[in-house]
Structure 1
């Protein structure tokens, strides 16, 4: 039976109904499990708390169903998005290998790049826009894509890049954090891994740290799972259960936030003090043609970025907001915004704002932003 995205999200990963049992079983807190002799070690799914947990298993099945509803896939969940990113890169790369990273990706890719280079791995970088990573693919072992990119919101043609990488034997991993599985399915576009921070829109309430990597290739899943076991980057059962519970509202949140983000971007386009406005859903955005072709259901993400005249102007704007929290991260049901340059890891102007649009009534949110911009200008 063919079902829609909302139904998928509501039903993903649930066990078969059992009389007198909850629809979604509660978290299993266990460091070890009963084992009866050596045979249980080889046949049982749960032997030790660092290896597996029934609560993780349900969440992993749910994410696999969302990232790859048409083909079998395996998901490995982690304690954070960076745990998942590091596991994919460090489990697949060896001394002498070459990896291609986006030069405009998540800012923790910078220290991770330094770590990789310290291990004798060559790191090449190129921007996301214009499929520029194609120019540095020669001889690479792995291509890492971030589309839409964070925080600049550029988009690349994932299928084109994946085909080029595979033609020369390279693996392809796509950071799908901003899009979510409902907005984009990298595995359908040819990627070997879909990787994401579940901290953001996947869970959507700003109260869970989580990451995951999904692949359709069992050997790749096994290598990432072995890495998780070795370094111990495991999620807590409570976090895994909260994440699974949150999936039921994923479509509701993603759709509301995407429509709110587009409405805010359209409103901001009329403000003269704003420059560099970006949102992939805007028809005039440079990323829109490719985003419209590969992102699903008009879901272009919850993030809008723009630049105000200077650092002080940007801070006055943030201070004047009443319905928006000055906080990092994105994807939550409550809108947040920040002056991204304060972290020092992104090549953005001092007045650059990354705005994560929540699920508030759009009229209220837009009115608050207009009022804050007026206050910042008049100060």
Structure 2
């Protein structure tokens, strides 16, 4: 029967089926840096940089969602950096989206280009036709952050493989419940679990998932040698979030779609970007590869002042730079240098009652008309 159960059900009961009488149902926090180790090391735990039972349980839980081996990191950027460190060598070329999360390009430019790595960029919408000749690694982020462009993962994976490149997919905006890049041919998935996976805006964490044993060992070795480990308390917070991920994401996705539909007919809104809308240019490819469209909506208002007023005045919006939490939030992304209009707002739906959120958004937009 185990194979027929959903990944969420298997995650929720990952521990319960193995508990002895009197053991805690809640995941214990193993707050220790060292372990009892008489005699010669025999493969057991001995130092927390090499492994911690709380962290390993969370890795196994995410592994159920990804159907892959997982290494957890203290942030999404630490996860991405570990892949670059494990895979790239002087003389290699890496292709990344020009419209994806800007710190990925910043990291490569600051630390890897000076070591002899060639950095190439391409818009997400053009990634399926991009020149991958000579690439060691291709990275995609779909839907992209913040513009919500979507690329065909299976097509990109096939072309990367033909070019002799590995494909790394950043799945942060979708999560494993909405999209499975490894099933579509990606070699590596990276995520900022700070967002929807943990889901309460109270912990930084990330992960790498792969079904390639050699890649897994290389990435795990990078974590051990660099010390980029997550602590047991943070791992517990991530575990707690994972247990409600499906419920939260269902509401966030529903809220995002409802808000996007309300926005696209409002006169104060110049444009709306959300792959769940039937008229979105990426809707068809998103329908083929996604089971849900995520919590993020992109909207463009008249100018910077209108965008800031909307964010400040909406009573159910928190002005914050992250997403995936229980509170709806928004920010004007041009302030970070993203190539978007000054009036572009990244709206991240939370878990508020849908009718309340739509009413708060539309009433605030009414004041801008």
- Partner of 1:376, secondary structure, is coil
The answer to whether 1:320 aligns with 2:319 is: no
The answer to whether 1:202 aligns with 2:204 is: no
Structure 1, unaligned runs of 5 or more: none
Contact 1:15 1:23 in 2 (8 A): no
CA positional deviation for 1:9: 4.3
Q: Pairwise mapping of residues 287-302 of structure 1 onto structure 2 (< 5 A)? A: 287-296=282-291, 299-302=292-295
The answer to whether 1:88 aligns with 2:80 is: no
Q: Output the aligned Cα RMSD.
A: 1.3
Contact 1:318 1:326 in 2 (8 A): yes
- Partner of 2:99, secondary structure, is coil
TM-score (norm 1): 0.94
> Does the C-alpha gap of structure 1 residues 338 and 14 become closer, same or farther in structure 2, counting only changes over 3 Å?
farther
- Identify the residue that residue 36 of structure 2 maps to in structure 1: 34
How big is each residue's C-alpha offset from its partner over 1:297-353, in whole Å with a ceiling of 9 and x where there is no partner?
xx1000000111111111111111111101111111110011111222x11111110
Contact 1:14 1:58 in 2 (8 A): no
CA positional deviation for 1:135: 2.1
The answer to whether 1:277 aligns with 2:272 is: yes
TM-score (norm 2): 0.96
- Identify the residue that residue 104 of structure 1 maps to in structure 2: 99
Choose the corresponding residue for 1:311, options 289, 299, 304: 304
Q: Distance in 1 between matches of 2:148 and 2:244?
A: 24
CA positional deviation for 1:5: 4.6
How big is each residue's C-alpha offset from its partner over 1:102-142, in whole Å with a ceiling of 9 and x where there is no partner?
1110011131121221111011110111435x422001001
Q: Distance in 2 between matches of 1:225 and 1:208?
A: 21
Choose the corresponding residue for 1:128, options 124, 136, 144: 124
Contact 1:320 1:376 in 2 (8 A): no
- Identify the residue that residue 341 of structure 2 maps to in structure 1: 349
Structure 2, unaligned runs of 5 or more: none
The answer to whether 1:336 aligns with 2:329 is: yes
Contact 1:126 1:136 in 2 (8 A): no
Q: Distance in 1 between matches of 2:73 and 2:15?
A: 17
Contact 2:302 2:343 in 1 (8 A): yes
Contact 1:12 1:63 in 2 (8 A): no
- Identify the residue that residue 52 of structure 2 maps to in structure 1: 53
Q: Distance in 1 between matches of 2:72 and 2:6?
A: 24
The answer to whether 1:375 aligns with 2:358 is: no
Choose the corresponding residue for 2:356, options 349, 354, 364: 364
- Identify the residue that residue 117 of structure 1 maps to in structure 2: 113
- Identify the residue that residue 17 of structure 1 maps to in structure 2: 19
Q: Distance in 2 between matches of 1:181 and 1:244?
A: 15
Q: Distance in 1 between matches of 2:14 and 2:163?
A: 36
Q: Distance in 2 between matches of 1:202 and 1:151?
A: 18
Q: Distance in 1 between matches of 2:189 and 2:271?
A: 29
Q: Distance in 2 between matches of 1:217 and 1:64?
A: 13
Contact 2:7 2:64 in 1 (8 A): no
How big is each residue's C-alpha offset from its partner over 1:185-223, in whole Å with a ceiling of 9 and x where there is no partner?
111111111110000011111111100001111111111
